[in-house]
Amino acid sequence: MSNNTESGASAAMTDGFHLLLDALKLNGIETIYGLPGIPITDLTRMAQAEGLRMISFRHEQNAGNAAAIAGFINARPGVCMTVSAPGFLNGLTALANATTNCFPMILLSGSSEREIVDLQQGDYEEMDQLAIARPLCKAAFRVLHAEDIGVGVARAIRAAVSGRPGGVYLDLPAKLFAQTVDAEVGRASLIDVVDPAPRQIPAPDAIARALDLLRGAKKPLIVLGKGAAYARADEAIRTLVERSGIPYLPMSMAKGILPDTHEQSAAAARSFVLPEADVVLMIGARLNWLLSHGKGKTWGGKAAKAWGAQKFIQIDISPTEMDSNVRIDAPVVGDIGSCVAALLDGMGTQWAKPPSAWIDAVAERRTKNIAKMAETLARDPQPMNFHSALNVVRDIVRDNPDAMLVNEGANALDFTRSIVDMYRPRKRLDVGTWGVMGIGMGFAVAAAVESGQPVIAIEGDSAFGFSGMEVETICRYNLPVCVVVFNNNGVYRGTDRNLGGGTDVAPTVFVKDARYEKLMEAFGGVGVYATTPAELRAAMEEAIRSRRPTLINAIIDETAGTESGRITSLNPAAALKK
Ligand code: OXT
Ligand code: ADP
Ligand code: MG
C-alpha cells in the first residue's frame, strides 16, 4: 500500500488489518478459528491472503473451543476471532471455559466505536465488551491505535501462556483496522515475544521438604492432572513414576502421559488408593470437585484429614492454588518440567521403592477391577449398550494410539474414560473442569487441524447436539474426523416419563431413533447407522482408513444410562433421598 507525501514521493503504508496479522505471524500463530462478519470480514479474507489458515465455523462457541484446545495441544495460545456483541458473547463461553481449564487462548473480537458505545447512543452491535470479558478471563486489553497493535498482541500472548495459562481477551474497535501507519514505523512497532512462558524454578528447600515427606511414606500415591499433560514434561514424569515405584492416578485428560496399561497405573483402583494413601503427590491437578476437594468419604472420611493421616505435596505453577481446599504440607511452586527435574535430582538413583505391602494391595484391587471390567466388556447384549460399544472403541484406539480422542456426554463420557485406554500424552480431550457440553465438534476440528491425526469423537446424543452443525465445517475442510454418536434417545437415557402425565415427552427425552448420520451425509460425508458392535467396528475402521468425515449413529440401549453418569450424587435431589 502507498500514499503520496507532501513532496509528492510515495511512502509505503500499512494499516491495522495488516499489523494485526503481521503481529500474529511474527509470533508463530498459523491458524485462526473464527466466524466472519462486520467488522472482521475483510480481516478473515486478508488472513488467508497473508498465508494464515482461517478455519471458519458455524457458531463462535465452537470456534472458541477449537482455539482453546489448540492452546492445550500446542502450549501456545490458540486464537479465535469473532464479530462484535453477539458473536463476541458466543465466543466468551469458550474463553471462560479455557480460563477455567488453564488453556492458553486469545479471543480477538471486533467491537463498535468507543465514542458511541460509551455514551450508549445505540451503535450497531453496541456493547462494552472489554468490561464484560474482564471478569471471565485471565486478562483483557483494548487497542485503540494501530501503532499499539504489536504491544497488544505481545501482552495477550504473555498473559495467555505465562504462569498459569488461561484465556485473554483483546478488544479491537472497528476503526482500528482502517488506521494507516508508515509501514516502517508499523513494522518496528511489532514485538516478537521472547520466552513467553519463562521457566519457574522451584526453591531448593521446597524440593527438600517434598522429598522428606515422600521418603517417609508407607503408602504414597501420585496424581497426574491435565497441567502435567500441558507441561510436556512427559519423559521426566515417566522417570519420576518409574524410579520412585509409586502408583499413580491419571485425571481424565492426563490419561496417556504414561500408557494406561502401565503396571503402576492405579486408575482401576481409584476408590481404593485415594482413601488409603498416606502421602499424595499432586502434579498439575487441583483438589477441586473432581477430587472431592481432598476430603470427605473419597479420602477416607473426616478422620483421615483431621488426624493429618494424609499429607499432600503439590506441584503447581500457581502459588495461590496451595491450601485452596486442604492443607498442603509440601508446596512446590514452579513449572512442572523444572519441579520434576529437581525432584529427580534430589532422589538420585538409589531411591527406595514403596513397601511391597502397598504395591501388592494396589495391584490386587487393580487386577480384580480389570477382570470385572473384562467380564462386562465380553458380553454382547441386544440392543448394544455402552460397554459393548466401547469395547470396540477401546480396540480401535489401542490399534491407532496416535489418534485424538474427543469425548463428551454423561454416561458416554464416564464409561469412555474408564474403558478406553490411552497410550500417548495429550490425546484425550474432554469436558474438563466444568463438565461442559458443547466442546465436541470444536475440539474435533482443532484436534484434526493441529495434529494431522485422525480424530475419534465419542459423543452422547445430547452432547453432540450442542455443536452438531459443525459437521458441515468438518466436511468443508475435509477433516479426518469420525464422530460416534451414542444414541440412547436422550439426556442420560431415553425412558423418562412426563411426571405431569401430559403429552409432552419428559425434559430429558429426544425424538426416538433420530437419524444423526444423515446430518453428515447432507454435507457429503459418510453416515452409518450401527446397531451392533460388528457394524460399529467396521464403520470406525473404514473411517480411520479412509480419513473421510464420518458420523456413526451408534444405537445404544435407551435404558442403559444412569442419571448424570458417575456424578449422580451431585444432583440436589440426591440429598433429599439420603
Ligand atoms: O474404584 P472404583 O471401584 O470406584 O471404580 C472406578 C475405577 O477404579 C474403575 N476403572 C477401571 N476399572 C477397570 N479397568 C480400568 N481401566 C479402569 N479405569 C477405571 O472405574 C470406576 C470409575 O473410574 P473413574 O471414572 O476414574 O472414577 P470416578 O469415581 O467416576 O471419578 C470421579 C470423577 C468425578 C473424577 C469422574 O466421575 C469424572 O471425571 N467425572 C466427570 C463428570 C462430568 O464432567 N460429567 C459431565 C457433566 S454431567 C451434566 O452436567 C450434563 N449435562 C448438563 C449440561 C452441561 N454439563 N453443560 C452444559 C453446557 N449444559 C448442560 C447434560 C446436558 S451431561 C448432559 C448430557 C448427557 O446426555 P448425553 O446424551 O450427552 O449422554 P448420555 O449420558 O450418554 O446419555
Ligand atoms: P485436572 O482437572 O486434570 O485435575 P486441573 O485443571 O484441575 O487438572 O489442574 C491443572 C493445574 O496445573 C492448574 O492448577 C495449573 O495451575 C497447573 N499447571 C498448568 N500448567 C502448568 C505448568 N506448566 N507447570 C506447573 N503447573 C501447571
Ligand atoms: Mg444420551
Q: Is there a domain that residue 194 lies in?
A: no
The pLDDT of residue 11 = 74
Q: pLDDT tens digits for 73-112?
A: 999 999 999 999 999 999 999 999 999 999 999 999 999 9
**What is the CB-side half-sphere exposure of residue 320 using CA atoms within 13 A?**
2
Asked if 171 and 238 sit in the same domain, the reply is no
Average pLDDT, the chain: 96
Phi and psi at 414, nearest 5°, equal -65, -40
The pLDDT of residue 215 = 96
Q: pLDDT tens digits for 259-271?
A: 999 999 999 999 9
Question: 191, 251 in Cβ contact below 8 A?
Answer: no
Ligand 3 centroid from CA 478, angstroms:
27
Q: pLDDT tens digits for 164-194?
A: 999 999 999 999 999 999 999 999 999 999 9
Average pLDDT score over residue span 489-510: 97
Pick the closest to residue 425 from 390, 459, 458, 451 (CA basis). Answer: 451
Q: Is there a domain that residue 175 lies in?
A: yes
Asked if 246 and 308 sit in the same domain, the reply is yes
**What is the CB-side half-sphere exposure of residue 332 using CA atoms within 13 A?**
32
Ligand 2 centroid from CA 335, angstroms:
10
Amino acid symbol at 136: L
In angstroms, the CA 449 to CA 456 distance is 13
Reading the block at residue 436, the C-alpha cell is 461442559
Domain boundary among 139, 158, 189: 189
At 8, the pLDDT band (50, 70, 90 cuts) reads: very low
Average pLDDT score over residue span 538-558: 98
At 7, the pLDDT band (50, 70, 90 cuts) reads: very low
At 307, the pLDDT band (50, 70, 90 cuts) reads: low
Task: Give the domain range for residue 472.
Answer: 379-577
Q: What is the CATH number of the domain that holds 329?
A: 3.40.50.1220
The pLDDT of residue 304 = 60
Q: What is the CATH number of the domain that holds 447?
A: 3.40.50.970
Q: Is there a domain that residue 135 lies in?
A: yes
Asked if 153 and 239 sit in the same domain, the reply is no
Asked if 334 and 308 sit in the same domain, the reply is yes
What value, to the nearest 5°, has the Cα angle with vertex 15 and ends 12 and 20?
125
Q: Is there a domain that residue 199 lies in?
A: no
Asked if 144 and 291 sit in the same domain, the reply is no
For the CA of 433, the nearest atom of ligand 2: 2
How many structural domains are present in the chain?
A: 3
- Does residue 4 register a pLDDT over 70? no
Asked if 473 and 402 sit in the same domain, the reply is yes
For the CA of 488, the nearest atom of ligand 1: 76
Asked if 338 and 406 sit in the same domain, the reply is no
In angstroms, the CA 269 to CA 279 distance is 16
The number of the ligand nearest the C-alpha atom of 223 reads: 2
- Does residue 117 register a pLDDT over 50? yes
Phi and psi at 221, nearest 5°, equal -145, 140
Asked if 386 and 350 sit in the same domain, the reply is no
Ligand 1 centroid from CA 162, angstroms:
31
Amino acid symbol at 85: A
pLDDT above 70 as % of the chain: 97
Which 3-state string (H, E, C) describes 242-271? HHHCCCEEECHHHCCCCCCCCCCECHHHHH
Domain boundary among 124, 154, 189: 189
Asked if 94 and 51 sit in the same domain, the reply is yes
The pLDDT of residue 376 = 96
Evaluate: CB of 97 within 6 angstroms of ligand 2.
no
N-terminal to C-terminal alpha carbon distance within the chain: 72
- From 270, 274, 290, 433, mutation site for ligand 1 pocket: most ligand atoms within 8 A of C-beta: 270
Ligand 2 centroid from CA 233, angstroms:
13
Average pLDDT score over residue span 122-126: 95
The pLDDT of residue 121 = 96
Q: pLDDT tens digits for 217-233?
A: 999 999 999 999 999 99
Domain boundary among 365, 397, 428: 365
Question: 168, 106 in Cβ contact below 8 A?
Answer: yes
Evaluate: CB of 484 within 6 angstroms of ligand 2.
no
For residue 170, count CB atoms less than 10 angstroms from its CB and return exposed for 0-12, middle for 13-18, buried for 19 or more.
buried
Angle at which helix 60-74 crosses helix 440-451, to 10 degrees, equals: 40
3-class DSSP state for residue 289? helix
Q: Is there a domain that residue 471 lies in?
A: yes
- From 251, 288, 417, 461, mutation site for ligand 1 pocket: most ligand atoms within 8 A of C-beta: 417
- Does residue 5 register a pLDDT over 60? no
* 569 contact partners, CB below 8 Å, separation of at least 6: none
User: Using a 6 Å CB cutoff, which residues line ligand 1?
Assistant: 252, 267-271, 290, 369-370, 373, 409-414, 417-418, 431, 435-438, 460-463, 486, 488, 491-492, 561, 564-567
Average pLDDT score over residue span 413-429: 98
Reading the block at residue 488, the C-alpha cell is 440412547
